[in-house]
């Protein structure tokens, strides 16, 4: 196991009706004048936003609102938020929604005290040195942004989707009421589940030896998702299924299952270009990319894939030919994704094989260089993975 420092300071307020605690939580973390950020309308329709307003009023907190944050959030909302925060002397940002709303809140939080363009943090020009405090009320189990120090934003000029990370971006508190996810359509539930599993796999496929505890934690989250996702899709109001998925989504991405080991993140890198180009859900893009990536890199360490196959998908171990077990595990993962209604190929996603050179170009891997990861990837490797994804079939 490698050395690590792990600090996850977010207060998680989990369970039925916990959104009523929002005002009290903001007060606890020093907020008095708040920007409330939300998405395209689900929080309005469900009555959640009204309950949040009530909680703020009760706590004597003043607030401004910005709605209309879109999935795969874009920079223009961030600029709008930064301007409003500065003009109104906002001292706390509350995100009510999913990863897109939370990531926008984090970008605004980092942008307000910064003299330059907030995009500097996302294109690697500057490091975040200060940020307004952020709190979240989560409405979809997926991105894990409620517990992570990351934010992913798309720059509309060039449709570049990029991430920034800093411990300063971790939420002060996250309200997690699984009931709030009962209104999710089956498709969004499945997209979220795919993202959660991908967050675990990005950590699971490692070159670091002897990481038994995090291996086992990863497998626990994956097994939970395999069991609970079909249950939540079949019974959208099943509180226990929703609760297990919601907590799994947080555990998958606050890095408790990833400490002390090298991680990968190339499937996410390749997927971000897809969701930026085609405006598809991040989880749906991952359903197409991740099994393709697995097929391509599996020969790098078949035993690690065979371990996943036997422990997560119950495949029989073939000791003479572990590659066969590994392949069976990848097939089982793809069948699982198909079974929950996810696309598995470019055509099902609405992506074009002819765009592969464009996708690879946007990855920006310099000639002769490779992206770090479980297996280092050249631009040609990335193109090969996109090609596998383009032609993937169910076996
Ligand atoms: O906008 P509204 O109307 O709220 O609808 C949303 C949206 O259309 C809907 N939704 C959310 N909660 C709902 C609901 N519909 C009905 N009932 C509810 N309770 O779901 C749709 C998707 O919402 P979004 O916030 O986009 O989903 P998600 O949480 O999957 O976030 C995706 C974004 O997070 C980024 C992704 O790249 C993508 O941009 N990621 C962020 C990460 C992070 N910050 O750590 C890590 C991830 O790997 C990921 O890259
Ligand atoms: Zn993700």
How high does pLDDT run on average in the chain? 97
Mapping DSSP to helix (H, G, I), strand (E, B) and coil, where does residue 35 land? strand
Domains along the chain? 11-180 (3.40.50.1970), 183-390 (1.20.1090.10)
Mean pLDDT of the 185-193 span: 98
* Confidence at residue 6, expressed as pLDDT on a 0 to 100 scale: 96
Confidence (pTM): 0.98
Identify which of 97, 163, 178 to mutate to test ligand 1's pocket (most ligand atoms within 8 A of the CB). 97
pLDDT digits (tens, 9 = 90+) for 42-57: 999 999 999 999 999 9
String of DSSP letters for 213-254: HHHHHHHHHHHHHHHHHHHHHH-TT-HHHHHHHHHHHHHHHS
Cα separations (Å) of 179 from 149, 192, 231, 308?
25, 16, 15, 31
Q: Is 357 exposed, middle or buried (0-12, 13-18, 19+ CB in 10 A)?
A: exposed
**DSSP for residue 123:** T
pLDDT digits (tens, 9 = 90+) for 79-119: 999 999 999 999 999 999 999 999 999 999 999 999 999 99
Q: How many CB atoms lie within 10 A of CB 4?
A: 10
Pair 40, 140: CB distance under 8 Å: no
Q: Is 196 in the pocket of ligand 1 (CB under 6 A)?
A: no
pLDDT digits (tens, 9 = 90+) for 197-248: 999 999 999 999 999 999 999 999 999 999 999 999 999 999 999 999 999 9
Nearest residue CA, atom 31 of ligand 1? 99
Mean pLDDT of the 156-181 span: 96
pLDDT digits (tens, 9 = 90+) for 246-273: 999 999 999 999 999 999 999 999 999 9
Residue 299 in tokens:
């020969």
pLDDT digits (tens, 9 = 90+) for 20-46: 999 999 999 999 999 999 999 999 999
> Cα 305–324–225 angle (5° rounding)?
40
Ligand 1 centroid vs 310 CA: distance in angstroms? 31
Residue 25 in tokens:
């939580």
The CA radius of gyration of the chain, in Å to the nearest whole number, is: 20
Residue 126 in tokens:
């500057």
Q: Is 214 in the pocket of ligand 1 (CB under 6 A)?
A: no
Q: How many CB atoms lie within 10 A of CB 295?
A: 20
pLDDT digits (tens, 9 = 90+) for 354-375: 999 999 999 999 999 999 999 9
Outline where the chain has alpha helix (H): 22-28, 42-45, 48-58, 75-88, 99-111, 119-122, 186-204, 212-234, 239-253, 266-278, 282-297, 302-313, 322-339, 346-349, 356-363, 379-391
């Amino acid at each position: 196991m490698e050395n690590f420092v792990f600090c996850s300071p977010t207060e998680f307020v989990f369970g039925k009706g916990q959104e009523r605690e929002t005002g009290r939580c903001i007060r606890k973390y020093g907020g008095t004048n708040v920007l409330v950020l939300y998405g395209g309308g689900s929080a309005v329709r469900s009555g959640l936003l009204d309950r949040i307003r009530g909680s703020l009023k009760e706590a004597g907190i003043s607030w401004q609102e910005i709605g209309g944050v879109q999935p795969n959030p874009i920079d223009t909302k961030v600029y709008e938020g930064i301007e409003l925060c500065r003009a109104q002397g906002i001292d706390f940002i509350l995100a009510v929604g999913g990863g897109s709303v939370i990531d926008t809140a984090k970008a605004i939080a980092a942008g307000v005290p910064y003299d330059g363009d907030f995009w500097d943090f996302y294109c690697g020009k500057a490091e975040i040195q200060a940020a307004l405090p952020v709190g979240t009320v989560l409405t979809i189990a997926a991105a894990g942004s409620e517990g992570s120090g990351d934010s992913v934003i798309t720059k509309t000029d060039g449709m570049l989707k990029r991430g920034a990370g800093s411990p300063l971006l971790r939420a002060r508190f996250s309200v997690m009421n699984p009931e709030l996810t009962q209104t999710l359509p089956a498709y969004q539930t499945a997209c979220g589940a795919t993202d959660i599993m991908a967050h675990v796999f990005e950590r699971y496929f490692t070159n670091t030896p002897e990481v038994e505890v995090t291996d086992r934690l990863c497998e626990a989250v994956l097994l939970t998702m395999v069991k609970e996702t079909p249950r939540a899709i079949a019974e959208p109001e099943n509180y226990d299924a929703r609760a297990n998925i919601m907590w799994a989504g947080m555990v998958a991405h606050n890095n408790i299952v990833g400490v002390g080991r090298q991680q990968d993140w190339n499937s996410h890198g390749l997927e971000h270009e897809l969701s930026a180009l085609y405006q598809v859900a991040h989880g749906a893009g991952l359903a197409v990319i991740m099994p393709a990536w697995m097929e391509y890199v599996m020969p790098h360490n078949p035993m690690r894939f065979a371990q996943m196959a036997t422990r997560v998908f119950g495949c029989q171990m073939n000791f003479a030919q572990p590659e066969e077990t590994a392949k069976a595990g990848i097939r089982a993962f793809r069948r699982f994704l198909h079974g929950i209604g996810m696309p598995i190929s470019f055509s099902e996603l609405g992506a074009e094989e002819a765009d592969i050179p464009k996708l690879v170009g946007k990855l920006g891997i310099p000639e002769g260089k490779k992206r770090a990861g479980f297996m280092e990837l050249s631009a040609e490797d990335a193109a090969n993975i996109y090609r596998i994804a383009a032609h993937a079939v169910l076996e």
